[in-house]
Amino acid sequence: MQEVYEKFLSESESKAFNLAHRKTIAFNISRYDASVKKGKLQYSNLDLAKKRAGIIKHKVLENLENYLKEFDLNISSRGVKVIWALDAIEARKAVVEILEKHHVKLVVKSKSMITEEIGLVECLEKNGIEAIETDLGEYIVQISNDRPYHIVTPVMHRSAKDVAEIFNQKFGLPIDSTPEEITAFVREKLRDKFLKAGAGISGANFIIADPGAVGLTENEGNGVMSTTFPEVHIAIAGIEKMIPTLNDLDLFWPLLSTHGTGQKVTAYNSIFTGPRQKGEANGPRFMYVILLDNGRSNVLAQIPQRRALSCIRCGACLNGCPIYRNIGGHAYGTVYSGPIGSVITPHLQGMEIYKHLSYASSLCGKCSEVCPVGIDLHSQLLNNRNYSVVNNLVPSIEKRGMKIWKIAMKNRWMLDLPPSNVKNFFVKKLFGKTWGKRRTLPVVSKKTFGKLWKELSEK
């Protein structure tokens, strides 16, 4: 537990003071900001759209069990096998069993954070199954043994020059290759994999109760190819990805693309309702949907924090967050980073291990302001803090400190009594190693406020 926290502190510090890293992030986020500003112009009333999306997601979460059953019933009727996975272990096991059943040795994967969440690629490798990332960003992450930096833009921390260097080292491409040349090279390299793969694995941006479908949105077309070329398609979806009907995509797809990348709508939007049906020429012969809980029920059980499950993973709160902009995605040490990651990770992976993330916030409210489904993220961070105090998860030294602070604040004379040099000693002792490390600590005045006030009043 303590190691996770200390690693977070040291990584945050090293990233926050790495000027090259900050420069790359600032540049990439400034481009994002500019295109989102333009993208939002498509709305005559964005607030209303956000409100409607928030209400729909609220309705879904209040009736999630029924929507999930409806989804299962509807999509199963067209030959899809739905598997309910309680945790990452069950989900990985289900995938391996499906692949073994169909004798699959090569898998093409479209971009999906949920497969990162369950550690799927590593698991497949251990089972002798090759899994190739087909999203360009994820492909770069894979060939450079990196981790996704951001839930929408996995290589946000890399400049065009960094990427060219990776391809130079890995494949001998010219060091000054342009993004277009690199894209063409990857496209050529992946074409063969799409044709040879026995299965395609995708996530799901949305699962749709009526008529029972999986919605996928992406910009490169690799998702379409991963899910339609191979004989088997496995979609892994978090149970919270539910929306009630197809019509709701009309609202959610543009909201997701505008807040994710600034586009009016993403380039490729697919709706999968099942495997190839009689008389159809294309598409997989077998389709599986794995519905993953993996701690989401824990969030659902917390009524104030339940709203966090409305997230459509657009990444806007990450890009807006002053903490994320400084420490970047890797410092969090989690699959989901930024404000939404800080809210949900403690519930998904253990509050006692990840509670510190809820404290790593300036509570400025920018995350809540930019969220397209109106999640009050900064309040959720406070709810998590409250949860960890109520459930006795804060260190005893902090509890004692708060008790003393409360008594002192309620009794003015206690604050006034010690001389200023004693107070300065304690300020240094208590905060010197944390706040004082890079800042000049405040010096307590020789005269207390009460004394100054009295003197002024007597003048």
| Interface residue list for ligand SF4 (CB under 6 A) | 259, 311-317, 340, 370-373, 375, 377
Q: How far is the CB of 57 from ligand SF4 (least distance, A)?
A: 9
Q: How far is the CB of 163 from ligand SF4 (least distance, A)?
A: 24
CB atoms within 10 A of CB 34: 11
Closest to ligand SF4 by CB, 208 vs 377, is: 377
Helix (H) or strand (E) holding 236: strand 232-238
Q: Give 120 or 377: the residue with its C-beta nearer to ligand SF4.
A: 377
In the complex, least distance from residue 176 CB atom to ligand SF4, rounded to whole angstroms: 35
**Minimal distance in Å, beta carbon 323 to ligand SF4?**
13
**What's the one-letter identity of residue 133?**
E
Which amino acid type is present at position 292? L
DSSP per residue over 196-219, as a string? H-SEEEE--SEEEEETTEEEEEES
In this complex, which beta carbon is closest to ligand SF4, that of residue 9 or of residue 113?
113
**Taking the complex as a whole, how short is the minimal distance between the CB of residue 259 and ligand SF4, in angstroms?**
6
Residues 6+ apart with CB under 8 A from 253: 215, 217, 265, 266, 269
CB 300 within 8 A of CB 309: yes
Q: Please state the φ and ψ torsions of residue 439, each to the nearest 5 degrees.
A: -125, 160
Task: Name 5's Cβ contacts closer than 8 Å, sequence gap at least 6.
Answer: 356
Instruction: Give the shortest CB-87-to-ligand SF4 separation in angstroms.
Output: 22
* Torsion sign across C-alpha atoms 213, 214, 217, 223: negative
Closest separation between CB of residue 319 and ligand SF4, Å? 9
Nearer to ligand SF4, 137 or 275 (CB): 137
Round to whole Å and give the CA distance between 429 and 424: 8
Comparing CA positions, the residue from 127, 124, 144, 128 lying closest to residue 136 is: 144
Buried b (16+ CB within 10 A) or exposed e, 386-415: ebbeeeebbeeeeeeeeeeeeeeeeeeeee
Pairing of strands 130-133, 199-202: unpaired
CB of 263 to ligand SF4, least distance (A): 15
- Least distance from ligand SF4 to the Cβ atom of residue 381, Å: 12
**217 bridge partner residues:** 269
> Is 149 or 286 the residue whose CB approaches ligand SF4 more closely?
149
Residue closer to ligand SF4 by CB (options 154, 372) is: 372
- Give 3 or 250: the residue with its C-beta nearer to ligand SF4: 250
Q: Of the two residues 223 and 372, which places its CB atom closer to ligand SF4 in the complex? A: 372
**Closer residue to ligand SF4 in complex, CB, 70/135:** 135
Kindly write down the DSSP assignment for every residue of 113-142, as one continuous string: HHHHHTTHHHHHHHTT-EEEE-SHHHHHHH
Cα separation of 156 and 148, whole Å? Answer: 9
